[in-house]
Amino acid sequence: MLDAVLRRGETLEQAEGPALKNVRSAPDKALARALANETLRWLPDLDTLIDSATRQRLPDDAKARSVLRLMLAGWLRLETPPHAVIATGLPLLAGGPRRLAHGVFSTLDKRGAALPPTPGLPEPVAARWGEKAANIAAGLAEPPPLDLTLRDSTETQHWANQLAADSFLPGHLRLPRGSAVEKLAGFSEGAWWVQDLAASLPARLLGAGDGRHVLDLCAAPGGKTLQLAAAGWNVTALDLSKRRLELLKDNLRRTGLKAAPVRADALQWEPKHKFDAILLDAPCTATGTCRRHPDVLHRIGPRQIADMAALQAALLERAASWLKPGGTLVYAVCSLEAAEGEAQVSRVPLQPVPISQGELPSGIAPTPKGWLRTHPGMLAEQGGLDGFFVARWRAG
């Protein structure tokens, strides 16, 4: 799994299927995912420890380095006892430098090696994120908690009591990570769906629908579609992916909410009418999801960012032309890259509608220009949130 991410640039989700196809035990699969995730989350710091215990630096792609990374992640992050780490790690180097790996691990064990309080970022990532990098890294030390969005925001207190959850604003709940989603009260009756707090904010910025028509562009797997439907909008939910649209339809069935799913390429599709509002949650590099998907820290670079920025610009141009006079456009990306956020706003030939403090949870403020920029270091003591950029406009 590590090799697929670091050498081939695959997502960890893509890598899981082939890598775990012969692993039958659910706990073993979960352990493999946790080891891979924690290794990627702390990779620069694990490498620093390894390099401190070797006379000659191991190549980045050396199998011994990969195995040592996993061994150290198992010991320092998953609290596996050193003897168990050695017993399970060294067989991965059968016919290879087992003695070297054993020596490095034993040296670090004897030293009482430890990881820093927050993960170090890969150098190219830290350079891109600039002065925000340290604050973002502070939010990456732990996997995120579980956020839920309620179908009926007036029942926030009821479900907070039922699930022993915290709430940061009406219609939102936060539970500790590790909660088994399908077993939670309210799942089978569709009272809520899983959605990061930051991901729930763009749809909120459109307000109540009152039966008006909204286009949810790039809609699947459907969290924002469900929000819009619950807020009284008549929703057209467009997405290109058949698999992801099936997830959206499943969520509609479970919650009992109504929307019109459409499978089409937004760069080719033409609507039959214009819309009162459009929510464009554009395809992006997803670097803002690095708390839950630390692979993005290691496989996203300038080429992917440029490709996504070009696609976003094309989608924004089309979306702006599909609004009725007086209609509202909200643009969002779960990216921490300025090229996908701040750099896009000048392309939109509409009147900006600044986001106000009153529309956001306590502890999150709009930028001086009226945009929203979140990152994992925000609300860190309460579990943080994903990185998003959001802007809003109105057609003349």
Q: What's the one-letter identity of residue 263?
A: R
Closest CA to 287 of 388, 196, 177: 388
Distance CA 279, CA 231 (A): 14
Closest CA to 338 of 134, 122, 137, 128: 128
Which one is catalytic: 218, 284, 290, 334?
Answer: 334
Closest CA to 104 of 158, 54, 55, 140: 54
Distance CA 393, CA 318 (A): 14
Kindly report whether the peptide bond that precedes residue 221 is cis, defined as omega within 30 degrees of 0. yes
223 and 286 in contact (C-beta within 8 Å)? Answer: no
HEC letters along 76-113: HCCCCCHHHHHHHHHHHHCCCCHHHHHHHHHHHHHHCC
218 is annotated as an active-site residue:
no
Residue 117 CB coordination number (10 Å): 8
Q: How far is CA 61 from CA 58, 67, 300, in A?
A: 8, 11, 18
Distance CA 66, CA 154 (A): 50
Q: Which sequence positions are flagged as catalytic?
A: 334
